[in-house]
Amino acid sequence: MLLLGHRGYHQSHPENTLEAFAAALALGVDGIETDVRLSTDGLPILFHDRLAPSGTPVAELTRAQLEAETGHPIPTLDEALAAWAEPLWNLEVKTPAAVPVTIDVLRRFTRSHRLLVTSFCHLVLAEVADALGIECGALCAHAPADPAAFLRSLRVLHPRLTTTVWPFEPLSETLIDAARAAQLRLFVYDVETAAELALCRALAVDGVILDRPELGRPG
């Protein structure tokens, strides 16, 4: 089971910063989950929220303006990937507008890095997979009424769509069995306690995105 730091280790550092990523990797996680948005100056910045602290949409700010608002450096996708080649990078593309520049950056790293592009906008994933030939993952917010049918529909969307990513709450053996039947990996996010992590291990999920990466340390 893979363990990923959710936006790095943001208990001790601002989330989605190089410092947060370094801290999570120092705790022994297998990879990093982060978010890609497009700034108004055309940069693929790593930032989760749609709005800056002032309430201004991030898409209407330059990186420098966003850094001034947050009080800390905002890395770009290429800066983060250049810093670490070994981890699995789970890259959530937050908006369709960020797709072209994300593809352009990732072309330089597909041979040297382990990459998984995810999105709640599933059609975006087909575009990325067609352009780069890398694995993609469908983010899902709620368990569907018919998990098996839903997961089969994802599997036929694109052969490179190999992973589904779910919150912890709807996790069940039924969902896991449906993912296995569709030949999809299953990752889980919103895992916040040792007990939740233990259940994920017991159910043999493929990956867990941890808000507290220290939970994954042995002992």
* Domains of the chain with bracketed CATH: 2-36+89-216 (3.20.20.190)
**Structure-token match 């597909």, residue found:** 110
Q: What is the mean pLDDT of the chain?
A: 95
Measured distance CA(93)–CA(89) in Å, rounded: 12
Whole-number pLDDT of residue 218? 65
Measured distance CA(77)–CA(167) in Å, rounded: 24
Residue 219 reports pLDDT greater than 70: no
| Residue range 51-105, pLDDT digits in tens | 999 999 999 999 999 999 999 999 999 999 999 999 999 999 999 999 999 999 9
| Residue range 166-182, pLDDT digits in tens | 999 989 999 999 999 99
| Residue range 115-142, pLDDT digits in tens | 999 999 999 999 999 999 999 999 999 8
Q: Which two tokens stand for residue 66?
A: 């966003």
Closest C-alpha to 139, from 102, 160, 167? 167
CB atoms within 10 A of CB 12: 11
Measured distance CA(78)–CA(106) in Å, rounded: 8
| Residue range 21-49, pLDDT digits in tens | 999 999 999 999 999 999 999 999 999 99
What whole-number percentage of the chain has pLDDT above 70?
99
Closest C-alpha to 9, from 192, 217, 214? 214
Q: Which residues of 197-209 are buried (b: 16+ CB within 10 A; e: fewer)?
A: beebeeeebbbbb
Q: Which two tokens stand for residue 167?
A: 């919150």
CA distances from residue 16 to 57, 145, 172 in whole angstroms, order as listed: 17, 34, 30
Whole-number pLDDT of residue 172? 92
Whole-number pLDDT of residue 142? 87
